[in-house]
Structure 1
Amino acid sequence: MATLSSLYSPAFSLPLSKPPSTKFSSSSSTFLFSLTPKSPLLSLSSHPIKPTTTTALKAQSGSGGDFDSPPERDPVPEPTRVYYPLDDYDEVVTVPKDFITGFEESEEQTAMAYEERYGPAYSGETYFGNDVLVMDPPDDGRRGWALLKRERVKIKDDLEETVVETRMVSKVTKGGRSMSYRIVMVVGNRQGLVGVGVGNARDVPTAIDKACVDARRHLISVPITKHLTIPHRAEGKFGGAKVMLRPASPGFGLHAGSLVRNVLELAGFRNGAGKQLGSRNLLNNCRATIVALEQMRSYQQVAEDRGIPIEELWK
C-alpha cells in the first residue's frame, strides 16, 4: 500500500479506491470513529506538487491530516503608491485666507447686510415719539444669536391706548387645535389722530403689543370744529356693520355706543351722536366708525372744492 508521501511522486499510479480510515490523530489524543472514504489528491500535471501548507506538512509526517480544510495562503502584499509632486505649482488650488478666517467688515456693513435680509433695524429716527419696532444696538455685550433677538420697548408718544376686545380664537391644523388671543385696540391723541389695530398671539401681553403697533400703522387724521364736534353727517360701512355719525351743539356730549364712543373720544370729539346698525361685531363696528371718519372734510376743504371763500359757506 502506498504511503501518503508517495502520493506526490510523478511516477505514482493512482488507485481507484482507498480503504477507509478508522483513526483520527491529533497532537494530544487519538479518537476512534468512522470516516467516509476519501479519494486521494489527483495530479493532472507532470510536475510534482510542493507541499507548502500545514496540511501537506502533516501528510509528510504521517499524522493523517484532514484534506477537507482549505489550504492556507500567504497574504498578498498591498501595492505601494508613490506620489510625485507637481512640476507646475500653478495647478495647485489655493484656498483664500478670507474663506477660512472670515471677511472683515465694519459695523455699518453688518447693519446694511442685516437690513437687506431681515428688514429695517434700529435707525435712531422716531415716528410719533419713538420707533414702532426697535432692536438693541450690537455693542451691548451680546454675542451670537442674541444679536438677532428683537426686544419690544414701551412706545413713548402722546397717543392713548384703549383695549375694546379680548377674545380667544382657535385654528384647526393637522396637529390639532391651536389656541391664541385676539386683541382689538384703539389709539388716539385727542387732537385729530385715531387708529384701530388688531393683534394675535399665544399670550395676551404679546397680542397687546402687536395691536399697539398695528393701530399706529393705521392712524388717520380727522377734522375737528371749534366746538369739538363732527363737521357734518357721515355714514360708514364695513362688512355687516353700519355706523351713522351726526354733529351736535356744545354741551350735548357724546351719545353713542361704547365702541363708537371710544373711537370718537380718542379722536378728540366731545359733542356728537352715533348709531350702530346691522352686525354687532366689535371689530367691524370699530372699522365702520373709522370709515365714517375718513369721509369727514374740514370747512377749508369744502370751500376749496366749491371755489368760494370760507366766509361764504354760511351765507
Structure 2
Amino acid sequence: MSNKIVVLFGGNSLEREISLKSGKSILNILKKSGINAIGIDPIKFPLLYLNKYGFKKAFIALHGKGGEDGVIQSILEYLNIPYTGSGVLSSAITINKFLTKIIWKEHGLPIIYPHLLLNKKKFTKKNYLIIEQKILKIKFPVIIKPNCNGSSLGIFKINHKDDLFNALEKSFIYDDNILIEQYIKGTEYSIGILNNKMLPPIRIEYSNIFYDYQSKYCLNNTKYFCPSGLNKSKEKELENIILKAWKVLNCKVWGRIDVILDENKNFQLLEINTIPGMTPKSLYPIAAQKAGLSFYNLIMKILFLTK
C-alpha cells in the first residue's frame, strides 16, 4: 500500500493519554509493515493542511471529544480524506449516552430505565430540592456519569441521597450534562464489532464497585475472560441485540458495545464506543485475536474496509 496514511492521536479530550498509546501502537504496526504512515496530534498541527501533505487515508485513534463526536470526521469529510470508523452523524449521536439510549429504546432494545439527564445550568442550590425529588424516583443505588465522556471518568455509585450533591458536583467537572440511572448488579461484557460481525464477547471481572477508570487502566487484578463462558443460546441472544444496536445507529467498520447481564439473566445495553482503545491493555484487540486476527491483521482490515 503506497498511499500515505495519517494516524490521528492525542487531541485535547480527557482521554488524551489513552489515545496517545492507541495511536502509537497503530502507527508502529503501519510503519513495520512498510506503509508510509505519519502520526499527527491535532493540537500540534492545523488539520486543514492535511491535503497539502498528500494523505490518502486517515486512521482515527482519537478517543472522546474531538475524536468520537463527529468533529474530526466532519473535517476529514470537508477535506475529502477517507477515514476509519463511523461517520459524522453516528459519531455525534453515540458519544451522547442519553441520545443513544433514546434511540435504542425506540427500537425495542434493552436499556437501563428509568434514567434522567441533568444539565449543569439547572444544578443550583435553589433548584436542588426539585432535582433531588426527580432522582429519588429512580431506585437507589444510582449511577451518575458524564453524558459525553469515556474511559469511566467522573462516574459515581451513590447509595444514599446524602451523598448525591457532592457526587453531582464532581461529575459536572467532566461534562455539562450528567446521566443518572439505576445501578444494576450483574456481569459486564464488552463486545467488539468488526465489519458488521460480532467478535468473541469478553467477560469482565473487577474488584472495584464498578468497572471504573482504575479497573480499566491501573489495577492488575481486573480479569478478562474470552471466551466469555456464555452458553450458545445466550451468546446468540447477545449477538442479535448487539448487531441491532450497532445497525440502528448506522455505525461503520469497527467499534465496541458494553452490556451488563443482570441478576434476572437479561442483557442491558450500557454504551457504545466507536473508536475503541488499541493499547496493550485494550479489549478490542484481545477479542480480535480470539477471532483469529493478529494486531497487524486487525489494523490492516480496518484500513482496508475504509473507503
Identify which of structures 1 and 2 has the higher relative contact order when contacts are C-alpha pairs closer than 8 Å and 6+ apart.
2
Choose 1 or 2 for highest CA Rg. 1
Q: Name the TM-score class by shorter chain.
A: under 0.3
Name the one with the larger helix percent. Answer: 2
* TM-score between both structures, scaled by the size of structure 1: 0.22
